[in-house]
Chain A
């Protein structure tokens, strides 16, 4: 199975900060990577697919980059509604696997 390792597992940031989350795959997954945002008690929400493509309706402050094994999610200017847990997920190979999550806290 492909292991997805996110770092950091949690971070503290302030409104207006630029935040970067890293996701590393244990083997190459081309650009078959998605990012999701999850708030407490809610379902995950799609943010990014194909490593760098923005899901329709998602604000452009979210961006993704990378290919192969190393990927990043960047939030350009953190707002109160962005405090949540973020997950990466590879869809290159079965079984599909998620990273452990990054909790973004105030």
Chain B
């Protein structure tokens, strides 16, 4: 399978714990995006990378959130000191094109439940 891969698919954690999600984009895709989606809402942009450079961060991304894409390949999204409001589906997407018109290919998502 050469699609976008996310791990873990599901994560249940207690409030205050740290969690980390991993995304492996489609090979050779330059851009990698993180979105968050809650029930009944569309995906909300969190951050994106062009190769290894993090080019934009949403105001939604508080100081508790950090994302990396070392070497421009896979990416990790870490949430520190989780809160119940962090419960959501975290979607990773990648895009081949280096401009803003490309199609996004989404992974199956990592669902986070904070108790």
Partners in one complex: no
Binding site for B on A (CB under 8 A): none
